[in-house]
Amino acid sequence: MKAFILKRYGKKSTLAKEEIPTPVLRDDEVLVEVHAAAVNLLDSKLKAGEFKLILPYEMPLVLGHDVAGVVVKLGLLAKQFKLGDQVYARTDDFRIGTFAEFVAVKQSSLALKPKNLSMEEAASIPLVGLTAWQALVETAKLKRGQKVFIQAGSGGVGTFAIQLAKHLGATVATTTSTANIDLVKRLGADVVVDYKTQDLEAVLRDQDVVLNSQDGKTLDKSLRVLKGGGKLISISGPPDPAFGQAIGAPGFVRLVMRLLSSSVRRKARKLGVGFSFLFMKASGSQLREITQLIEACAIHPVIDKVFPFESTNEAMAYVESGRAKGKVVIKVR
């Protein structure tokens, strides 16, 4: 099969299009013919080597975490799906590889594609949808009437999280640039902070939940806009000791995480608020919950551009530029 592979870590590394063997199925996996794959910042961070301690991949590596496609082969124990099913998924860590014509996916991580979405639209959903779900529903337990601050509202996670939070009945605040204010308001944002002209601390206060996806300076400010007992959930770091324990990281890696997060954890304690790091995980059952919301038209995908398979490197570069509104997708088939 044809695939785009990474041969060495590096911010300026590009992916090479090569012919490689089709993945060998494990018993609990299905083989998916890839029709579309989304590009995420996680792919760029992996390419740059930023997660080598957490995710020590071997080279060469096929990148790509999101997939929408068709089931073409079943593992011996894969009974949940049948040949020809249209499916979508966020692939599991160490089994990624959707920038290719085929990918093996654990059946427990897979769900039937929403009937009202195209393959490209479906591929845009899993990683950002599961991130928002695991942050707002699973971790924060966001309730009707609460106030949530979702950073970077025009980005991939932000566009989905705003819609999910509004569906849950929360009052939503977000940050974006002047050009994207109308977009985030259409998605449901009640309060919009223009980060080019406004200071979020001057606008926001008494938030119940913050979904942090930005740098350390913004994280510090976001801790201060929480009310007492509020929760900040960060998807951009720093990783905390609880995360290290959850993934079974070696002792020295857990020590590094403890040191990296010590300052922010100390600040959170002083302010009487909670801090946790979230590195989302694949989940077919949660995707099925998301599918129901999409088919009910409570949430819709936001796609900036669709690139042809041959332009995978260009799609990566566009995501890395930070200009994308919503998601960037590669049309494989």
DSSP letters, 295-325, are HTTSS---EEEEEEGGGHHHHHHHHHTT--S
- Render pLDDT for 162-175 as a digit per residue (tens, 0 to 9): 999 999 999 999 99
Q: What is the pLDDT of residue 206?
A: 98
Please give the DSSP secondary-structure letter assigned to residue 100.
B
| Domain at 23, CATH number | 3.90.180.10
Q: Are residues 121 and 138 in the same domain?
A: no
Residue 244, pLDDT > 90, answer no
Q: Are residues 163 and 108 in the same domain?
A: no
| Residue 192 located in a structural domain | yes
Q: The tokens of 93 are what?
A: 């860590």
How many structural domains comprise the chain? 2
Q: Are residues 61 and 202 in the same domain?
A: no
Q: Are residues 186 and 257 in the same domain?
A: yes
Output the pTM of the full model: 0.97
Count of H-run helices and E-run strands, the chain: 11, 16
Q: What is the pLDDT of residue 52?
A: 87
- The pLDDT of 143-158, averaged and rounded, is 97
Please give the DSSP secondary-structure letter assigned to residue 236.
S
| Residue 176 located in a structural domain | yes
Domain that holds residue 269: 128-277
Q: Are residues 153 and 269 in the same domain?
A: yes
Q: Are residues 52 and 151 in the same domain?
A: no
